[in-house]
């Protein structure tokens, strides 16, 4: 479904991604783990068209999307839930969800909103509440719900567990699995390697802009190197 081939991405003179290659197959949950500043968010921003690779290519459903405008990429079925869950604070939950569907012309927006409410009953309870007054976990749900409103084939999630209490982290990860089970492919960026590896099919480890390890999530979970560096030596 997605094939990233040897991309180099720069911020000015600073090279944030160095020859990164990875693949995501339809139906998978793939996770990208790595320390602060490794380049995880940069990769997602490049996939969603916010940054352009200087070299290399990105193939999505057989077509190159490298350097295409973000709007065209959303239309093609890739939705990005950025780090820090930026919701529109002065709009209600429901208005935020409506915005997620703004590029769509079909009449099924209402129907999809019901589906989002079925996945996130908490958002239904709070649909008239201003998004800025939601808790951190609820804002994460809203950011994910808004992305789902664009009917993505591929959902890019950037650190959905960041800053959330353990119980809410568990809820969010259960919901990610549920979204995946309805046919949405997921690329998940996480610092919580333990949780991410427990739900992913495959994983890539990124260090200072390079992919250094990749494999089946189960194999990585069992590897001593990964345990030492990313699983707190568990």
For 205, list phi and psi in degrees, rounded to 5.
-110, 130
Q: Which of 16, 33, 78, 157 binds ligand ATP (CB under 6 A)?
A: 16
| 29-33 and 185-190 beta bridge pairing | parallel
Which value, in Å, is the radius of gyration of the alpha carbons in the chain? 17
Nearer to ligand ATP, 21 or 129 (CB): 21
Nearer to ligand ATP, 32 or 93 (CB): 32
Question: Does position 192 bind ligand ATP by CB under 6 A?
Answer: no
**Least separation in angstroms between CB 40 and ligand ATP:** 3
Q: Which of 33, 38, 65, 211 binds ligand ATP (CB under 6 A)?
A: 38
Q: Which of 55, 59, 191, 198 binds ligand ATP (CB under 6 A)?
A: 191
Count CA atoms closer than 13 A to 212's CA, side-chain side. 14
Q: Which stretch binds ligand ATP (CB under 6 A): 32-40, 55-63, 96-104, 177-185?
A: 32-40
Helices 136-148 & 166-181, crossing angle to 10 degrees?
10
**Least separation in angstroms between CB 55 and ligand ATP:** 17
**Least separation in angstroms between CB 207 and ligand ATP:** 9
Strands (E), the chain: 2-11, 14-24, 29-33, 55-60, 63-64, 78-81, 154-158, 185-190, 202-207, 210-216
For 158, list phi and psi in degrees, rounded to 5.
-105, 105
Question: Does position 36 bind ligand ATP by CB under 6 A?
Answer: yes
Our CA angle for 58, 173, 88, nearest 5°, is 75
Nearer to ligand ATP, 171 or 191 (CB): 191
Interface with ligand ATP (CB under 6 A) = 11, 14, 16, 34, 36-42, 83, 191
């Amino acid at each position: 479904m997605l094939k990233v081939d040897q991309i180099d991405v720069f911020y000015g003179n600073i090279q944030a991604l160095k020859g990164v290659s990875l693949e995501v197959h339809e139906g998978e949950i793939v996770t990208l783990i790595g320390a602060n500043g490794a380049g995880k968010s940069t990769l997602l921003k490049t996939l969603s068209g916010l940054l352009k690779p200087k070299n290399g290519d990105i193939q999505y459903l057989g077509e190159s999307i490298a350097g295409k405008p973000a709007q065209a990429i959303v239309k093609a079925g890739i939705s990005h839930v950025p780090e820090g869950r930026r919701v529109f604070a002065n709009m209600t939950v429901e208005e935020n969800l409506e915005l997620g569907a703004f590029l769509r012309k079909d009449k099924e927006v209402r129907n999809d909103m019901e589906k989002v409410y079925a996945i996130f009953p908490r958002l239904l309870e709070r649909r008239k509440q201003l998004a800025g007054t939601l808790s951190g976990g609820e804002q994460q749900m809203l950011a994910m719900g808004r992305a789902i409103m664009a009917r993505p084939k591929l959902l890019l999630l950037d650190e959905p567990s960041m800053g959330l209490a353990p119980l809410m982290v568990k809820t969010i990860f259960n919901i990610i699995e549920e979204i995946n089970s309805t046919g949405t492919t997921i690329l998940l960026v996480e610092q919580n390697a333990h949780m991410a590896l427990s739900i992913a099919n495959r994983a890539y480890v990124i260090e200072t802009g390079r992919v250094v390890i990749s494999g089946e999530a189960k194999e990585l979970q069992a590897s001593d190197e990964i345990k030492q560096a990313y699983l707190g030596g568990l």
